[in-house]
Amino acid sequence: MRKIISLICLLLPALAFAAQPETVPELRKDAPDLHIVTKGDTLWSISGKFFKDPWRWPYIWGANKDIIKDPHWIYPGDVIVLNRANNTLRIGQAGTNGLVKLSPKIRESYSERDAIPSIPASAIAPFLSQPLIIQEGELKEAPTLVGARAGRVTLGSGDVGFAKGLPADKGAKWQIYRPGKTLLDPDTNEVLGIEAIYLGNVEVTDFADVSTVLITKAVQEIDKGDRLVMHSGEVFSTYLPRAPAGDVLARIISIYGGVSQGGQNTLVTLNKGKRDGLESGHVLALYRKGETVKNNDEKTLLPDERYGLLFVFRVFDKVSYALVMQTKLPVELLDQAKTP
C-alpha cells in the first residue's frame, strides 16, 4: 500500500502538467542557468528566479520522462537546471569539476519534512489549525471560561482558569476564542461569517461541572466569558498552485491585523469561498480599480491595474484566506482578485 501511495504522489505533478494546455513559459531576462537549493527556498521562489509566472511551476518544471522526479520532493543541495531549449526545469546533482549530473538518486538522509515547501510554510502555519470563521451564534453553546484562580481578571500563559460545559469525552486540549469582526459582502451586504479571534490554548487538568484548565499558550489577554473550541490539530497540505477553472472575481474584505493596507506575505480575507468555486491552491491576480481622470471637461476611466498575486490556502463556504505572494503596490481593502 505504501508503494502505491508513493507512486501516486510521484505521478501527480506529471499528471497535472499533462492536463494543462501546452504553453511556453516566459523566461525572466536575468534567469540563471542553474540554482542550488538552500534552506529557506520555496518552489515558488525558485521558479520566480527563472520565470515571470512562478505560480506555474508544476507546468514548467518539465515532463522529462527519462528523469524520475517530483517537484514537491526537492531538498537543500539539489541543483535546479534550466533547459533553455524548451524552457523547463530539471533536478540534478552537483558533479565533479562543477558539472551537473542529471539522474535519479536515493536519499537516505532526508525525510519529507526536509523537502522544500510550495510557499512559505511559516507564514500560514498558525492559521491552518484555527477555525478563523464562525457562523452567527456558533460560539453561544460552546464551553465558557467562567473564572480564574485568585480572582484574576485576565489570564495569560501558565495561569489556571475554570470553565463550564466541558465534555470529558472530547479530549483535554482546547483552543480559546471570542467573536470578532462580522464579515459583510461589499457588493450584496450579505453576512458571510464572523471572524473568530484566536486567543490561545488550554489543557484540562480536571473535568467536573466546573472544570479546571491550564492556559498553555496565550497570544492575547484571555477574559471571563471567552469560549473554548476543540483543538483541531495541525493541518498540513502540499499545495499545487493553479488558476481556477472558471472566472472568479473576489474582493479583499479584511487584512490580517485589522490594518487597511498590506504587503508581501500579508494574510487577506476574500469574499468568495467554496460555493463560488474557490479551492486551496488557487492563484488569483490582484487588481487596483482604475481611476477616473479629468481632461478639460472630459472624464476618462483608466483600466484596472494588475499589481500582484494571491495564493489561496484555506477555503470556507463563503470566504477564503489567501497569502499575498507578490505585489508592487500596497494591498488595500476592496481591491479585486481575479482569475489570472
Query: pLDDT band at residue 21, thresholds of 50, 70 and 90?
Result: very low
Query: pLDDT band at residue 111, thresholds of 50, 70 and 90?
Result: low
**Considering only CA atoms, which of 196, 192, 256 is closest in space to residue 227?**
196
Asked if the model's pLDDT at residue 61 lies above 60, the reply is yes
In the three-class reduction of DSSP (H, G, I as helix; E, B as strand; rest coil), residue 163 is classed as: strand
Exposure of 288 in the CB half-sphere (CA atoms within 13 A): 13
Alpha helix (H) residue ranges in the chain: 2-19, 43-50, 57-60, 121-124
Name the class of domain 249-338.
Answer: mainly beta
Q: How far apart are CA 52 and CA 5, in angstroms?
A: 33
Amino acid at 75: Y
Average pLDDT over residues 255-263: 86
8 Å CB contact between 194 and 180: yes
Spans of all domains in the chain: 2-118, 127-230, 249-338
- At residue 235, the pLDDT reads 55
CA distances from 16 to 21, 22, 45, 86, 248 (A): 10, 12, 20, 18, 21
Long-range contacts of 50-56 (CB under 8 A, 24+ apart): 50/80, 50/82, 50/89, 51/25, 51/26, 51/27, 51/87, 52/25, 52/26, 52/27, 52/28, 53/25, 53/26, 53/340, 54/325, 54/326, 55/241, 55/283, 55/309, 55/311, 55/325, 55/340, 56/25, 56/241
- At residue 312, the pLDDT reads 94
8 Å CB contact between 301 and 287: no
8 Å CB contact between 75 and 46: no
Asked if the model's pLDDT at residue 5 lies above 70, the reply is no
Q: How far apart are CA 167 and CA 143, in angstroms?
A: 9
For 116-168, write each residue's pLDDT tens digit.
Answer: 888 887 788 777 767 678 876 778 889 999 998 877 888 999 999 999 999 98
C-alpha cell at 330: 500596497
pTM for this entry: 0.75
Long-range contacts of 163-170 (CB under 8 A, 24+ apart): 163/202, 163/204, 163/210, 163/211, 163/213, 163/228, 164/209, 164/210, 164/211, 165/141, 166/204, 166/207, 166/211, 166/213, 166/228, 167/143, 168/207, 170/230
Q: What are phi and psi of 52, to 5 degrees?
A: -75, -20
Q: Is 93 left (phi over 0), alpha (psi -120 to 50) or beta?
A: beta
Query: pLDDT band at residue 24, thresholds of 50, 70 and 90?
Result: low
CA distances from 141 to 34, 36, 127, 161, 232 (A): 57, 53, 23, 19, 18
Beta bridge partners of 201: 175, 217
Average pLDDT over residues 68-90: 78
Q: Which helix (H) or strand (E) holds 296?
A: none
For 275-332, write each residue's pLDDT tens digit.
Answer: 999 999 999 999 998 888 888 878 888 888 999 999 999 999 999 999 999 999 999 9
